[in-house]
A = this chain, B = another copy of it.
Amino acid sequence: KTLEDVLKEKGVITEEDYKEVNKSRPVSYKLGQGFTFTSPDEKFQGSIGGSMQLRYTFTDLDDANGSQTDTSEFKLRRIKLFFNGYAYSKDLTYKLQMNLAELNNSNKNNTSKFLEETYVNYRILDEAQLRFGQDKVPFARQELVSTTALQFVDRSFVTDAFKPSYDIGLALHGKVAGGLVGYQAGVYGGAGQNTFRSSNDNSFAARIVANPLGDMAYSESDVDNSAKPLVSVGASYFRDTIKNTAGALETNNLSFANTKSGWLGMGLSTFNPNEKIDTNSYGIDAAFKWHGFSAQGEYFLAQADGQTTNNTLRAHGFYAQAGYFILPGQLEVAARYGYLDPNRDVTQNIQTQTQGAVSYFFAKHNLKVQADVTNIHQQYATKSNTDDMQYRLQAQVIF
């Protein structure tokens, strides 16, 4: 029992007082948001919390082109701490989030992924807000869903192939008509997460979303067992200019520029070793939720043009996923298909993934265990196609 409880029982404070003072308790806890501290004058508020994603992965590699070593891996996939709140006024909010798991041995020459959302947001109106600092570039619906609110163990590989991910910049965003329409538009450094470059090429991104049946949060799986149907459709655009320096991109800190998994990184040989490359990316997406059923899909289209050679690289891809709660709010099964053609002018280079997932939610997305199975199909021009199988188990807790 708290002091407030005792005083109410004794009649020292009234029911109304009780409600009033509980609103301004110096310490409170809200599920998914950690512990919150509020100054007595209510001009300052700060919350501290975190999340853990602990993962086991077994990968059974296809031996079609010779014997492969399977891998059995325990991993701290994401270990996050956040510190956010408002200061001086409720209209001036800040967020600071770290992903401690990025300081691992695989990533030892790149600590720039430690710091994630790090910004100050000023709300002029709900419809017009300014955000300065580092945030996710507003491109791709699934990227804007927090990794703690996914339907599968992780995002689709197609989203990772097209998204820019984090960058530093200045954005204007807002919600119109109570969330029926939302928009974001911003200019960014253009080199990615906590990364700087000696250039005057900045990137630009814009996204618009319509929620005709009412505001719909960026969160997968219908954990709330929505009584009324919810639907959301969106469109995203992103442009950037990146220099090819001696055959390597000047940055690999943008997800689509990663040489192993990004459309631009994989197709880099299209361009001269020292030319600037203009990229334009487009995405359309939709999501739906009702009575425990949810579905989501996106189509991406991207093109890169060399400024010197005029060579062109074109990529496209999509994913579609759906899930249903067998036990409402608790046990969900889901399926997903993803397709990526990283270079439309080349044949025999298609990648597809077919996935099935089972998730148990103890406290919605805040405490859950997820398992998924993935068939990773990869075409090769010069050797046999492969079908690797990946089995993942992940425990997630937000505290």
Contacts and interface: CB of A to CB of B under 8 A. Distances in A.
A48 B37 CA distance: 11
A337 interface: no
Interface of A: 1-7, 10, 12-13, 17, 20-22, 24-29, 34-35, 37, 39-40, 44, 46, 48-50, 52, 54, 56, 58, 69-76, 79, 81, 83, 85, 87-88, 92, 94, 96, 98, 100-101, 103-112, 114-115, 118-120, 132-134, 167-170, 188-189, 191-202, 251, 253, 362-363, 366-367, 395, 397-399
Given A73-B196, A112-B103, A118 B52 contact: yes
A10 B10 contact: no
A257 to B, nearest CB: 13
Contact of A200 (B70, B85, B109, B193): B70
Given A56-B170, A101-B115, A105-B194, 12 more contacts: A3-B7, A7-B13, A12-B12, A26-B27, A48-B48, A75-B168, A75-B196, A76-B133, A88-B363, A103-B114, A103-B115, A105-B112
A391 to B, nearest CB: 12
A106 B199 CA distance: 14
Contacts of A198: 69, 71
A15 to B, nearest CB: 12
Nearest to A3: B21
Contacts of A27: 26-27, 37
Copies of this chain, whole number: 3
Contacts of A112: 103-105, 108
A1 B20 contact: yes
24 contacts: A6-B21, A26-B26, A26-B27, A28-B40, A29-B39, A35-B44, A44-B399, A46-B48, A54-B120, A54-B168, A71-B200, A73-B196, A74-B167, A74-B168, A76-B133, A88-B363, A92-B367, A94-B397, A94-B399, A101-B194, A103-B114, A104-B111, A105-B112, A111-B111
Given A2-B24, A83-B81, A395 B132 contact: yes
Contact of A87 (B111, B114, B397): B397
Contact of A1 (B24, B37, B167): B24
Given A44-B29, A54-B133, A100-B96, A110 B105 contact: yes
A79 B96 contact: yes
B100 A98 contact: yes
A59 to B, nearest CB: 9
A367 B87 contact: yes
Contacts of A75: 168, 189, 196
Contact of A115 (B37, B79, B108, B169): B79
A107 B397 CA distance: 31
A120 B395 contact: yes
A79 B120 CA distance: 12
A189 B56 CA distance: 9
From A75, A201, A253, name the one whose CB has the most chain B CB atoms within 10 angstroms: A75
A197 to B, nearest CB: 8
Contacts of A76: 115, 118, 133-134, 168, 194
Contacts of A119: 54
A108 B110 contact: yes
Contacts of A104: 111-112, 115, 194-196
A192 B108 CA distance: 14
Given A69-B198, A73-B196, A111-B103, A52 B133 contact: yes
Which of A10, A22, A188 is packed against the most chain B CB atoms within 10 Å?
A: A10
Given A74-B170, A88-B362, A106 B200 contact: no
A5 B3 CA distance: 11
A77 B239 CA distance: 25
A189 B362 CA distance: 27
